[in-house]
Amino acid sequence: MIPETMTAIELRNYDGPDGLAVTQKPVPRPGRGEVLVKIAAASVNPSDLMFIQGRYGFSKPLPVVGGFEGSGTVVAAGEGLRARYLVGRRVACAVQESGDGTWAEYVRTGADFCVPLRREVTLEQGAMLVVNPFTAWALVDLAQRGGHRFVVQTAAASALGQMMIRLGKTRGIEFINVVRRPAQVALLQELGAKHVLDSSDPDFDRQLAQLCHDLGARLAFDAVAGSLTGRVLSAMPRHSTVTVYGGLSEEACRIEPGQLLFGDKQVNGFWLTPWLRRMNLLKLLATADKVQRALSQELRSEVQARYPIAQGIEGVRQYMANMTAGKVLLLGEAG
């Protein structure tokens, strides 16, 4: 039976974890083309942290439940063939750009935002399926389609950065990995990464430029923004591109105009949502199947902590303090 109320973590103001509150609210009812998912686990991602600080690409009217992705079982559906097909199935789910998120015991979302889980995929793995693995898959695919053998990536010690290193090895792509601490250099070297540079090293810019020119690296994936975007672009050869897909520095990209004007270089952006929307249903399901098959190896995620939703604000704080240590999961009753 579906209860009348549920526990949820609600964002009251855009002030990071200080703006969050655990509350009781009515369980939503799905409309046409929508499903109701009983949450087993919901993940905390860098994009979630940016959202609760009001630094994401869009905002929502407050109060609103946080969380962009999770997993669970579909327990109810509105009208529509695909929505009804999902009832009783375990799914990974994302949320729409309006309405509540996954940091709750139940979430209402579009049936098109749900991916049925393969039998061998756990609900915990499903809770981390969409944001990082799909982004890693999309970016490595972008590099492969462009014929890039060597690619620069920033925030390389992040969960997503490590995924791209592992996935790149299977696709014949080698990364020049940029991190910001010596401990992260050691971490990636232990994983078998060949090229790892510390951006805090006084000789970083020269080392990066030397590697980019020696290896012919003309594509970079930047999750940091700020001054690092311009430093990476400056280090790369003519006709290079930096694709920005994150803003961990919480600063605007700083780029010398001469790099664009005289170096024939460019900066563009990548956001997962439109990439997914460009695929028809069959292509999306086929891609989701491939991504799920890689969840235990190339696209695996480490978990540093698990919290019940009622204690989830503490989990958000822990993740914010140390994102490199692994994901934090917020667990519902089924988790």
Tell me whether domains 5-128+301-331 and 132-272 share a fold. no
Q: Which two tokens stand for residue 333?
A: 């009753």
DSSP structure class, residue 279: S
Is the domain covering 132-272 a CATH 3.40.50.720 domain?
Answer: yes
268: helix, coil or strand? strand
Torsion of CA 287, 241, 254, 214, to 10 degrees: 120
Pair 86, 50: CB distance under 8 Å? no
List the domain boundaries for the chain.
Answer: 5-128+301-331, 132-272
**Mean pLDDT value of segment 183-208:** 95
Q: pLDDT tens-digit profile of 87-104?
A: 999 999 999 888 999 999
Identity at 309, one-letter amino acid code: I
**Superfamily of 5-128+301-331 according to CATH:** Medium-chain alcohol dehydrogenases, catalytic domain (3.90.180.10)
Give the phi and the psi of residue 201 in degrees, each rounded to 5. Answer: -70, 130
The mean of the pLDDT values for the chain is 95
**Mean pLDDT value of segment 276-302:** 92
Give the separation between CA 59 and CA 11, rounded to whole angstroms.
Answer: 11
Residues 6+ away with beta carbon under 8 Å from 109: 34, 35, 37, 93, 94, 95, 96, 99
Q: pLDDT tens-digit profile of 104-136?
A: 999 999 999 999 999 999 999 999 999 999 999
**Banded pLDDT at 324 (limits 50, 70, 90):** confident
Predicted TM-score (pTM) of the model is 0.91
Q: pLDDT tens-digit profile of 151-172?
A: 999 999 999 999 999 999 999 9
